[in-house]
Structures are given as C-alpha cells and as structure tokens.
Structure 1
Amino acid sequence: MKQRIFTFLVLALAGLTACKKNDNNLPDIQQYDDQQIQAYISANALTGFTKDQTLIGDGATGLYYKLISPATPGSGPDSLKYQDQVSVVYTLKSMDGKYVSTDTIANHYNGFLGYMTSVNTTTGFYFPVGAQLAVHNLLKYPGANIQVLIPSRLAYGVRGYGVGSITASGRIAGNQSLDMYVHVIKDQAAYDDQVIKNYFTANNLTGYTKDPLGFYYKVVTQGSGSVGEITQYSNVSATYVGSLLNGTNFDQSSQTTATTLTPYSLIDGFKTAILKYGSTGTSLSLFIPSALGYGTAQQSAGIPANSVLHFEVQIASVTQP
C-alpha cells in the first residue's frame, strides 16, 4: 500500500512539473522572440507581414515575412534548391537598432544556397539560418526580394554575433531578432546595368556612353595620341583610382604615381576601354559591370562578389614593347 501511494505521488508531481512553464513563469524562447518581433512591427508601423507556419524541429519557424517583389512561378527557373548557386544582395539590422548593415554595394553573397550559413573566411560573416530558410521556403525563386523578421533562435542565438561588449556598434547582442532584406538576383547583367543607371541618376552624372561589350565610358580629356596606338602588349603608363559605388577605394596605390600597365593582363572592361578609347594623354571615366570585372570571385582587396567597378584613368604615355 505504501508503495502504491509513493508511486502515485511521484506521478502527480511529474504531471505538475510538466504543466509548469518554468520556475519564474516566464515565456519560452519562441514566445519571447514573437513578443520582440510584434513590438518591433508596432514600433515601426510595419504592415503586410505574414507569420510563417512552416514546421521545423521545435515547431513553426516564427519568421515574419513580406514579399516585396515576388517572382512568378513558371516564368523562369524552378524553385530554388539548396544545391543551387545564388547571387544575393542583402541588408541586416538588429531590432535594438545597435547593429545596422544596409550597404547593398558591400553586402553581396555568391555561392550555393545550402552554404549560406557557412562562415566567410575573408569577412567572418555568415547568414543566420532564418535567412536561408526564408530564401528556400518563402522567397523560393530568383528575381524576387523579401523582407524577413528573423527570431533570435534562428538568428545568432544567445551568443549574438561579432566581438566586443554588447554595447559595441559592430556587434549583435544575444537573443536579438533581426530585420533582414534579401534579393536573389535572376539576371546579373541586367541587375548591374540598372545599378549603374541608378548611380548616374543619384549623382547627376551625364555624358556616358554604353560600349557594346556592356561597360560605360566617358572621355573626360581627349588625348594627344592616336586612338588605336595601344595594343594588347603596349606598355601604358597611367594613374588610376578604382572604387566601388559606395565610394570605397580598392586600389589607392596608383592615384599619384604612374604605373605601367599591359592591357592583356587587365580585367576585360578596363582593357577594352583603353584599347578602344585610350591614347597618350587621354583621361577616361569607366563603370564596369561585374562580368567584365572580377565576376563571382570575392577579392582580398575588399571587392565583394558580383561588384560593379568605377575607374578614373589618366594615360600619361604609351610605348611599344
């Protein structure tokens, strides 16, 4: 009889424990994240968001999303698979406002969708798993873009991201949900061309001509030499500045000191421009799409994958080998 009473008490206590949320009756992490996101939506007067009900290991994802420009299924490639290579432009903000990374010129990714959460060995950045889920499950097709509110458990968790104290501007604190914009590019050439045109409009730049190869050029100063004197193997003494469209110079070493260039060794856009339009004394301004620059490869000089490049070039002299 005593044994039966003891067993009953143990089972009763176990049942009471299972019904209790936690010792302090506080919300669990899913509830905490949802409250954080709801407060963010309210504080920023966001509209048009849907809560994702896709199930993962511990329940629904808890993502909130808004398709800004959805792609039309059937009008292009099949829906995105994890083994597909994608070109992504993104922005990222923590909901406490302490981390903001909204430079779409710098924020590029090119690689397999399934590797988005892998650490970039150059920058140390990696996408939160919530972003990868949003692209795969919600955005689905290249050519579309999405704003997604990512709960902390699918972001950088309790540890956060970055180094330094939790008050550092370059750090995402633990248990911070995120506001992320993601655009998966369908046609990189068309995207680059539009980026260049937008830059011209924003900066009131005129007088540029689009070469049939795809880059834009402007002869700022007509040279004293003859166009055509530069060949693939000419020695071209020039000063130049290379920059991204956010103003970041990736090659500053040649701003004042002339460097000898040989066209055959240059990126396609730069090479073709000086062969077709350059001569002794010519100054050129160039805007080069990524396919005629460094393409999908991220460069150690701080050039992200699929970057449009801007060059200002002054040709001092041309000699033949």
Structure 2
Amino acid sequence: MKQKIFTFLLIAAAGLSACRKDTVDPTIKEYDEQQIKNYIAANSLTGFIRDTIGGDTTGMYYKIINPGSGPKVEYSDRLALVFTLKSFDGKYASIDTISNHFYDYLGHLAQDGLPKGLQTGIFNLLKYKGASMRLLIPSHLAYGKDGYGTGSVTNVNSRIAGNQSLEYYVHVIDDQPAYDDLVIRNYLTANTLSGYTKTASGLYYKIITPGTGAIGEIKDLSIVTSTYTGALLNGVVFDEASKTTAYVFTPTVSDGLSGLVKGVKEGLEDHATVGTSISLLLPSGLGYGNFPTTGSSIPSFAPLRFEFQITTVTQL
C-alpha cells in the first residue's frame, strides 16, 4: 500500500513539473509586444509600422506624420524638439507642448531624462529635421521596471508605473521662427483673438488703449512706470509681481528698458507711449530663446505673452 502511494506521488509530481514547463512566463520583450498590439487594437490605431531596423530588435511601432525636408539628424546635432506622451494605462499624460520642449544634443536625450527608445526612434525612424511622428515605445526602452516620477503608481500624471509602454508624438523643429509663428497663429485662433499686427521681426502686438503721448518717446534712457504681466501661451504666468503695483524701469537700475527681452523692448519703443495699454505676443527668438534664465519657469524656445499698461514716461 505504501509503495502504491509513493508511486502515485511521484507521478503527480512529474505531472506538476510538466505543467510548469508548459507555462513559461513571457520575456519582457514578449510582454511589451503584447502590450503594444493590445493598445493598437483598443485604440483603433492604423498606419503604424513595426521598426525592423537593425534586425527587428527594438519592438517599437511608428507612424510618420510629416517626413520633413531638413537635413538628416545625427547624434552630434543640437536639436529642438517638442513632444507629447502618455502611458498605455492612461494614468500619465503630458500633452502641453509649451512645457515639453527639449533643446540639446540628440546624443544627450536619454541623459536628460527622456527614454532611450525616443532617442533611437528619432535617429533611425524620424531621421530628418522638420519631421514629426507617433511612436509606440515598449517599456524596456522607456522607463523599465522602475517607472518614472514620484508618488504612488495610482496617482494620475505624477508617476509612470513600471513596465509601462508609452505613446509619443514628437516633432523635430527645423525652422524655429516659422514654427513659433505657427504656434502664435494657432494660439490666436484657439482663443478667438483678433486685432493683432505682425511686425517685420515676427512680433505680434495689439493696442488695447491708445496712449496720449507721442510714439517714440519711450527710449533706452527713458524712465518708464508700468504695470505688466508675462505668461506662457498655455496660460502659466511667470511674472505678475507688477500686475497691480507699478514697476519703474530706470536706466540706472538693471539697465532699464535695455535689460528687457527684444520683443518687449520693440513693442514699447515702437508702439507705446504714456497711457498705452498694449498686448505683445513674442516668438521665442524675441524672448528668452533656447537658453532661458537659470531657474526660470520659461522653457526653451517658448513664445510668450506680455500685457503692459504704461502710466508715466520721463527722460533722464
């Protein structure tokens, strides 16, 4: 009887062992591949191509929206990028391209906190300046098992969970002034704004309230008293310290008007006078460009909006 029981246990153990061998856990690449296929199906995505460059090893899928017409990108190129991203589980989405700006060498992209897959996709798949694409990045080329961000994985928009594949939209800017002008025109349309005039430099301005003085009286050596605000085009205000309390721009203090960014200086000197209320929309080249002030909330190559109300103008 004991021998029969022992024999039965051996057979049962062998059967369990065989079952375990038949249910091998998928590798991370296999898991990511299934994630992406499920995501494509669930979101009815069409036109995506699997990346097969280098022997079909990345597991990424992509769709070229605009092939671009600029030069081919190299890892040694300093690139201006705008992008959006979201995790497949829907718990992380960053869709504001005003904030999602990158300006550095393509070879530094992963060092600056963006996924290796994004760097590879731009170099191998997008290829050209002025181009844009959608890219599905498997988790092993994104933020891996540890994810990204802080807080609980259940938080929305503060953390990307581990083993999450990502969808990116990315555009490599070739002509920065043209791109900025498009951003400003889209902003005007989206907010139903009218009455702005574009200058030869690319500045947009609108006189809200005409002044009582003579245009041209505001100069480098003028003492100008004004209330003002400065904001990104997504509505984030980066300077409202003088929204209600007038600030005095004095040439002997912080260079006065000479210390202002080009677009503001042009707008005030060429189109404002005492009593003027003026709205200014600046392309990034007339603002802080690709190198904003250290510690500033202004991202690289960000178009800006300023509102000025001039109360006094006197000369030294």
TM-score when normalising by structure 1: 0.88
Amino acid at match of 1:63: M
CA separation in 2, counterparts of 1:256 and 1:80? 47
1:182 Cα shift? 0.4
> How many Å separate the matches in 1 of 2:186 and 2:134?
21
What displacement does 1:102 show? 0.4
Partner amino acid, structure 2, of 1:105: I
- Which amino acid is the alignment partner of residue 186 of structure 2? N
The equivalent of 1:101 in structure 2 is: 94
1:65-118, Cα deviation, whole Å (9 max, x unpaired): 00011124xxx32x1110001100000100000000000111111111111112
Q: CA deviation at 1:54?
A: 2.3
Moved over 4 A (4+): 21-24
Find 2:65's aligned residue among 62, 65, 68: 68
SS at match of 1:199: helix
Pick the aligned partner of 1:202 from 184, 190, 201.
190
| Post-superposition CA distance 1:243-298 (Å, at most 9, x none) | 11110001011110111122111000000110011111101000000001000013
Question: Partners in 2 of 1:248 and 1:87 — Cα distance?
Answer: 21
Query: In structure 2, what is the equivalent of residue 32 of structure 1?
Result: 31
Query: 2:279 matched to 1:285?
Result: yes
Counterpart selection for 1:113 from 99, 106, 111: 106
| Partner Cα distance (2:121, 2:292) in 1 | 24
Partner Cα distance (2:123, 2:304) in 1: 30
The residue identity in structure 2 corresponding to 1:192 is D
Residue aligning to 1:43: 42
Unmatched 5+ residue regions in structure 2? 1-19, 250-255
TM-score by length of 2: 0.89
| Correspondence 1:248-259 to 2 at 5 A | 248-259=236-247
Q: CA deviation at 1:24?
A: 5.0
RMSD, aligned α-carbons: 1.6
Q: Report Cα offsets for 1:130-175 as digits up to 9, x if no partner.
A: 0000100000001000100000000000000001111122100000
**What is the one-letter code of the residue matched to 2:209?**
T
Identity of aligned residues (%): 52
- Number of residue equivalences: 290
CA deviation map 1:287-313 (0-9, x unaligned): 000001000013422111000000111
The answer to whether structure 1 residue 236 and structure 2 residue 224 are counterparts is yes
**Displacement after TM superposition at 1:227 (Å):** 1.1
2:82 aligned to 80, 89, 92, which one?
89
